[in-house]
Amino acid sequence: MLLPCKPAVVVALLASLLTAPPAPPADAATTEVSFTGGGGVTLHGTIVAPAQTRGRAPGIVMVHGAGPVTRAEYRDEAEAYARRGIATLIYDKRTTGYSTVNRDYDTLAEDALAAVRALRARPEVNPERVGIWGLSEGAWVAPLAAARSPEVAFLVVAGAIGTTPARQQSWAYGQRLDHAGVQGSLVTTMRHRLIRFAQAAGLFAEAAHDPVASWERVRQPVLAVWGALDREAMPAESSRIIRQALERGGNDQHTIRFIPGVRHNLNGTHDDGFDRPDLVPAGYAEVEAAWIKSLPVRDKPGTPPQQAASSGSPSEPTAWYEGPGLQVAAFLIFLAALLGHLAMAVVRRLRGHRGAVPGAHPARWFLIGLLTTVFGFLAYLGVQIVTGAYLIGPVVLGRPLPWLALQLTAVATVAAAVRTALATWPARRTERARRALTLTAAAAFVPWALYWGLLIP
């Protein structure tokens, strides 16, 4: 998925750098471990195990959600498992070969299997009862790992997604925009244009990954849980897709549950699942721990929440006019217009010319509008990508104020281009050059702004 930079991730990263590891609670014991993941990368983790247990405890490896996640983000969850008799391995996600634009789920699956082997080797852990827990992006990785190795005894996934990352991200953007009351062109821009462009430009790694094939190969018992207020993983649709894939593969050892009152990562919420507070419920891991201890289990699926199904597919091949090449060409034309106008102004001053020039005033406003619209658009969409569309701004008349302002500047830019053309027609040679630069840039700007929804209500 396109990676939002969650505040909890930043806080956890700073905490891991500036403070000592937190002391374990009285009912848990911790052990620092290192192991070799995919491609020979050394990974570091912590085993959080029950302080006292009779015999060897079941074990679980927690596989991260999206982003540069450290083990600190899952420390509370691991301690919740330890209090319920489950030894848990949490580890820092690799930084080598993983970023917003570069990641490989196969490699992450190798990391997870290396963690399983490390946990199975611990004397306090029952090696025959070690499974994998995967959240969100980790729930794309977890079935890949489980399908490859019988060493994985079971699979627990939270907020699993049954479609491609591109389709999931489109659905999640739609949920958030609809919750905020956004209507109009920004919805299409966010849900389709942006995702298709990012995928075509190679900026959305694993966008077309289809998890169905890996789910069809999973033979281990599976517990799939979703928060009833999950606004990211399309739980109603994903649960159906995953259940059907398991059944096609002959796996009838699966339990599907929807936990009331919690959001995507099974944490609490103050805003119906549309916020991201770091609230681990007091009963966290009760369902999972009870299921692990009672294996094998055959159960009827729970009732999914009422949610809109995904529609369309941002993963479809892009049309010729959607390619990143044309976007680059448009930016080059905008840059050439800016530099051309600046060059003419410099030459005029060097020649000692003074006084008003026909079309100079509207041309100046055209350039200001062009720069404001283009760079404002890039900045606004950049913020939406980084935050996962959580900072869209105040909404007026169905439009976020920043987006409405960009639409107004786009209209003003086109009007300034028309005024420049009229003011320099007919005109002398120098004014004809100004007019040519302006009209060329305007000819590129209008379809560019139409495509991105800046000139559409």
Residues of the domain holding 172 = 7-293
**128-139 per-position pLDDT tens digit:** 999 999 999 999
Residues 285 and 333 in one domain: no
More confident residue, 4 or 360: 360
Whether residue 29 has pLDDT greater than 70: yes
Residues 280 and 332 in one domain: no
The domain that holds 156 is classified in CATH as: 3.40.50.1820
- What is this structure's pTM? 0.85
Q: How far apart are CA 96 and CA 18, in angstroms?
A: 22
For residue 312, being part of any structural domain is answered with no
% of the chain exceeding 90 in pLDDT: 66
**240-290 per-position pLDDT tens digit:** 999 999 999 999 999 999 999 999 999 999 999 999 888 999 889 999 999
The residues that bridge with 227 in the sheet, in sequence order, are 259
pLDDT tier for residue 433 given thresholds of 50, 70 and 90: confident
Residue 161 in contact with residue 211, Cβ under 8 Å? yes
Residues 229 and 336 in one domain: no
User: What pLDDT, on a 0 to 100 scale, did the predictor assign at position 54?
Assistant: 73
DSSP state letter for 38: G
Residues 378 and 257 in one domain: no
Residue type at 64 in one-letter notation: H
The DSSP result for 424-442, as a single string, is: TSS--HHHHHHHHHHHHHH
**160-191 per-position pLDDT tens digit:** 999 999 999 999 999 999 999 999 999 999 99
Comparing CA positions, the residue from 152, 194, 200, 150 lying closest to residue 170 is 194
- Token pair recorded at residue 128: 């025959």
Q: How far apart are CA 345 and CA 136, in angstroms?
A: 55
Whether residue 149 has pLDDT greater than 90: yes
The total of structural domains in the chain comes to 2
User: What pLDDT, on a 0 to 100 scale, did the predictor assign at position 414?
Assistant: 95
**390-424 per-position pLDDT tens digit:** 899 999 999 999 999 999 999 999 999 888 878 76
Average pLDDT, the chain: 87
Exposure pattern of 74-104 as b/e (b: 16+ CB <10 Å)? bbebbbbbbbbbbbbbbbbbbeeebebeebb
pLDDT tier for residue 307 given thresholds of 50, 70 and 90: low
Residues 252 and 123 in one domain: yes
Residues 331 and 221 in one domain: no
**350-399 per-position pLDDT tens digit:** 776 665 555 677 888 999 999 999 999 999 999 998 888 989 999 999 99
User: What pLDDT, on a 0 to 100 scale, did the predictor assign at position 430?
Assistant: 57
Whether residue 111 has pLDDT greater than 80: yes
